[in-house]
A and B are shown apart, each in its own frame.
Chain A
Amino acid sequence: MEKKTAFAKAGEKAPLIWGLGFGILFGFLLHKGGVTKYDVIVGQLLLIDHTVLKVMLSAIVTGMLGIYLMKTLGWVKLSPKSGSLGINVIGGLIFGVGFGVLGYCPGTIAGAIGNGYLDALVGGLPGIWIGAGLFAAIYHKVRDGILKKGHFGDITFPGLFKVNDWVVVIPTATIIVLILVWMERSGL
């Protein structure tokens, strides 16, 4: 616990520098994974290259086991996002269409720009700014209407099922690992 306090304090003192440092590691990994490339991302969406899924599922399993262990130890607090069907289904589908048409997402487009890809810098980046600006312009109109439809809040699956965290974590991790093993065995 003392260690955690020291860490947290260091983090509070220089939050921006920590953000930059973590970002550099994240970007380095994204490039090494090949996911700063349009061909790899769209290859996934065309179901011919499963790199994106392999990276994401391995990150989810690893992250989940560590984060829930640290939560159990009282070292970290979760920050699940509040949601609703109006937010997550509609927003997710609009985002998904953009993901397929642009061929990058907000994190990987930053990596694509670092990789030198000019369609990301000159086309996609200003597009994202415009899209975010458009949403800011209409936010007051949708906030209390469609965004509240099917509201369920910031729950997690263990909270939803009212069970101990590990009752969900262990089976989820097992299923994801089995999916990855199956993908590898069948040459996907």
Chain B
Amino acid sequence: MEIFNELRWSPYAVGIGIGMLSWLTFLISGKPLASSTSFARTSGMIEKLFRGDKVHDKLYYQKTKPRVDWQWMLVLGIAIGAFISALLSGDFKGQWIPSLWESAFGASHLLRLATALLGGVFLGFGARWGSGCTSGHGISGTLQLAVSSWISAVCFFIGGIFAAWLLYHVIA
């Protein structure tokens, strides 16, 4: 099947595919496509390695148990699915610095990794504060016409456009 070896599909075809996938997750598993809670669960599991059962004293982990669940497997699957698609299209490559980043900030590994780490901290913190991310709110919540998700999705882009503007038009 040639089509699976292509590097990119039309964004509309991909979007329609993701929309249809959301029908299936609702119908079969009764769950929306979402990702960010799994990172909080993993964070709890890592904390448990160091602090043992004391992690369960935290209110947050009583609500969000540090364990593998349906969504955690979904996120693992995303990595596997992207890996398969990348392999089939000859696009799998170990890369430290994205080219857009390099064009503005140079080829320093340390600078990119430190920025990615910092961005990750904001992303992880904000996803838990806002109870969802680009998939949970941005796709699954908006398609259910949830008020919370439309507000979140708009704020994701306001924050994101501001940060990208600051990095690329002010700092760079």
A156 to B150, CA, bound (A): 10
A142 to B116, CA, bound (A): 26
Contact with B58, one of A10, A37, A136 (Cβ below 8 angstroms): A136
Contact with B161, one of A16, A45, A78, A106 (Cβ below 8 angstroms): A45
Are B78 and A107 interface neighbours, CB within 8 A?
yes
Interface string of A137-155 (1 = CB under 8 A from B): 1011011000100001011
Main secondary structure of the interface of B (DSSP, over half): helix
Are B70 and A60 interface neighbours, CB within 8 A?
no
**In the complex, the 3 A-B pairs of residues with the closest C-beta atoms, listed nearest first:** A96-B159, A23-B77, A127-B120
Main secondary structure of the interface of A (DSSP, over half): helix
Q: Which residue of B lies closest to A33 (CB)?
A: B14
Are A45 and B163 interface neighbours, CB within 8 A?
yes
User: Number of A-B pairs whose CB atoms are under 8 Å?
Assistant: 546
Contact with A81, one of B129, B131, B143 (Cβ below 8 angstroms): B131
List chain B positions with a Cβ less than 8 A from chain A: 6, 8-9, 11-12, 14-33, 35-36, 38-40, 42-44, 46-47, 58-61, 64, 68-86, 89, 91-101, 112-168
Count how many chain A residues have C-beta atoms less than 8 Å from C-beta atoms of the other chain.
128
**B residues less than 8 Å from A124 (CB atoms):** 116-117, 119-120, 123
Q: Which residue of A lies closest to B114 (CB)?
A: A123
Which residue among A20, A56, A61, A95 has the maximum number of chain B CB atoms within 10 Å of its CB? A95
Interface string of A51-72 (1 = CB under 8 A from B): 1001111111111101100100
List chain A positions with a Cβ less than 8 A from chain B: 4, 7-8, 10-11, 15-39, 42-43, 45-47, 51, 54-64, 66-67, 70, 75-85, 87-120, 122-137, 139-140, 142-143, 147, 152, 154-158, 160, 165, 168-169, 172, 180
**A residues less than 8 Å from B113 (CB atoms):** 119, 122-123
**B residues less than 8 Å from A112 (CB atoms):** 82
**A residues less than 8 Å from B112 (CB atoms):** 119, 123
Are B28 and A7 interface neighbours, CB within 8 A?
yes
**B residues less than 8 Å from A105 (CB atoms):** 35, 123, 133-135, 138
